[in-house]
Homo-oligomer: A and B are copies of this chain.
Amino acid sequence: MNMNRICTLLKIQYPIIQGGMVWCSGWRLASAVSNSGGLGIVGAGSMHPHVFEEHLIKCKAATSNPFGVNLPLMYPQIDEMMGIILKHQVPVVITSAGSPSKYTSLFKQHGIKVLHVVSNLRFALKSQDAGVDGIIAEGFEAGGHNGAEETTTLVLLQLLLGKLSVPLVAAGGIGSGRAMLAAMALGAEGVQIGSLFAASEESSAHLAFKQRIVESSEGDTLLSLKPIGGVRLLRNPFFDKVRQLELSGGSPDQFRELLGKGRAKLGMFEGDLEEGELEIGQIAAHIQSVEPVSVIFERLLSDYHSSLNGLCSHSGK
């Protein structure tokens, strides 16, 4: 893998960015990814400001490589979070779930690189206009929040190709070195990987959730809760209730009431596989074991290189 624009921009060895996932991506995961040569990300979305600051301090102590944070722009105490990010000189901020037009220039004034997560071309162009340094294009198969268009990673990359001057990172469904190669073939210069790292040893997710990911098979996730935003859920008894409400045409208020508060923490962090909300990407069906981040990196890279060699030797070069 050559040093492309994403590697140069983020000062990383491999163009692999870890997704900033709620309840999974604390300092242990982020520092492990950065120590493996990718960009580790502390996921601020599920952290109170003081917890977030603690993770930043620990992450900096655990790696001398660059790392970043994921900041949903709908975060209630966003100004406090921004203060913490500036104080600790975090080199990269990945923004999502909101408009980057207000905050991008603030971060950039302080020398912070900004990438914004989008699920369609329209917001990719808006984000570029807002001055972001790169776009993360996230397809329908991803865990976490998705666009109403339901555009898959394969289609989304084709729609974005040639339309942007900033570098593009592919997200959603990346579970192997071959998928990384496919993303590069489609013009991306990097990948963001969530689910593989959610199930890693260093993920802060509960072991029961990680085991559930390993045991899951095809069709075990569906984009759910669409009337209140959309999130990809693993099947469990809570999912069944969501599904029933979907099939009976429930109102947004009914979905909010069913969801209640703290379900994501209950499922992913506390390991309640019955009543908790279990967010994960479609690629969960491909994950076979809970492994250290370093092992995941080794396989991704060797798979990428052997697939590339295969493709290029077939090309007659």
Contact = CB atoms under 8 A, between A and B. Distances in A.
Contact of A187 (B178, B250, B283): B178
Interface residues of A, number: 56
Interface in A106-150: 120-122, 139-141, 147-150
Nearest to A283: B155
Contacts of A181: 182, 185-186, 311
Contacts of A161: 176, 178
Interface in A136-188: 139-141, 147-155, 158-159, 161, 172-176, 178-179, 181-187
Contacts of A316: 2
A216 B151 CA distance: 14
A252 to B, nearest CB: 11
Contacts of A315: 2, 308-309, 312
Contacts of A121: 218
A122 B178 contact: no
A250 to B, nearest CB: 8
A219 B312 CA distance: 35
A102 interface: no
Of residues A179, A182, A187, A250, which shows the largest number of chain B Cβ atoms within 10 Å of its Cβ? A182
A154 B248 CA distance: 31
Contacts of A309: 315, 317
Contact of A286 (B149, B158, B218, B283): B158
A312 B316 CA distance: 10
A121 B286 CA distance: 11
B173 A179 contact: no
Given A218-B122, A308-B311, A178 B173 contact: no
A24 interface: no
Contact of A247 (B2, B147, B249, B312): B249
Interface string A231-266: 000000000000000111110000000000000000
Contacts of A286: 155, 158-159
B219 A148 contact: yes
Nearest to A248: B249
Contact of A176 (B139, B148, B158, B179): B158
A159 B2 CA distance: 28
Which 10 A-B pairs have CB atoms at the shortest separation, nearest pair first?
A249-B249, A149-B219, A312-B312, A182-B182, A154-B173, A181-B185, A152-B152, A248-B249, A182-B185, A141-B152
A105 interface: no
B185 A307 contact: yes
A87 interface: no
Contact of A150 (B183, B222, B246): B222
Contacts of A250: 249
A81 interface: no
Which one of A152, A173, A247, A312 has the highest number of Cβ atoms from chain B below 10 Å of its Cβ?
A: A152
A310 to B, nearest CB: 9
